[in-house]
Structure 1
Amino acid sequence: MKKLISVLALSAATLSFTAPAFADEIIGSYVAYIGRDDLYNSKGARLNEPWQILRQDRANYHRFGISQSGDEWDPFFDSMENRAIMERMIMNGTITSGARSGLLQGGATVFVRIFGTGSRGKYVKVTVVN
């Protein structure tokens, strides 16, 4: 019995030391004002999903040089490949109903936190800051 307890204690101690290495961390964050330009894609079609608007905002900022007052640079979505996985990242994360509504209407300032491990993004958390 003592041996079993010792093994269990050692296993618990090992897990407590290794768990943080696998935990997701904030790998980036940014604030963005969702303006009229962010509500339409490059072909002029109205976007109607939050992830589409957030992706367009980041493409406008990083690729097309279109930004509004309050838009910030971010270390993750400057990559076209990372912008392409934004839908999955939002589905895996959280977006408040207020943030969703603000994104769809435009005129909202959002705070986006990007979570992952190393340089690999897994999910985002989106909130409205105004």
Structure 2
Amino acid sequence: MRSRQRQHLFIASLIMLSSLAPSLPAQAYDGLDLYDCVISDQDRFNSKGVRLTSVRNILAQDRANYHKFNRRDTLDSADQTFLTPGQRQLWQSARVDIDPALRAKILNGGAVAITVYVFSRDWIEVREGLIPPGVS
């Protein structure tokens, strides 16, 4: 009889857990903005065709290409922070945290998928790869 009670308790536990799973919250991001983009060769040159040599300028050009010139890479997504030239100046004044290896990839060419986390007007973080599933 005890094994049957344990079996019922185990089944009841599984049912309860499975009913809770869909309602588990996604990982929340509490910053100002979050977006994916691909840094490609078109982002490494300004609108006059001059090669950009800083990551800050390349990331600002990516957003200019997205918002102003409609030159978007396939995986580029929208943001609400860098809509205007004035707003893109934030790339020059904010602290930008980026791994040195990722910095080198962005500067040296080839397509690089990144996620940009705008935590505040003073702090931006750039990570390699796209937004992890469940982060919103």
By the TM > 0.5 criterion, same fold? yes
| Deviations 1:7-26 (CA, angstroms, capped at 9, x unpaired) | xxxxxxxxxxxxxxxxxx51
> TM-score when scaled to structure 1?
0.72
Q: Which residue of 2 aligns with 1:39?
A: 44
SS at match of 1:64: coil
Q: Which residue of 2 aligns with 1:85?
A: 90
Task: Return the match for 1:54 from 52, 59, 63.
Answer: 59
| Deviations 1:66-99 (CA, angstroms, capped at 9, x unpaired) | 101100000101122110121221xx13111122
Consecutive unaligned residues of structure 2, counting only runs of 5 or more, are 1-29, 131-136
SS at match of 2:59: helix
> TM-score when scaled to structure 2?
0.69
Q: After the TM superposition, which parts of structure 1 deviate over 4 Å for at least 4 consecutive aligned residues?
A: none
SS at match of 2:36: strand
For residues 1-130 of structure 1, the aligned pairs below 5 Å read 25-89=30-94, 92-104=95-107, 105-116=109-120, 121-129=121-129
SS at match of 1:26: coil
Alpha-carbon contact 1:39-1:106 (below 8 Å) kept: no
The RMSD of aligned alpha carbons is 1.4
Greater strand share, structure number = 1
% of aligned pairs identical? 30
Task: Output the amino acid matched with 2:111.
Answer: G
Alpha-carbon contact 1:93-1:123 (below 8 Å) kept: yes
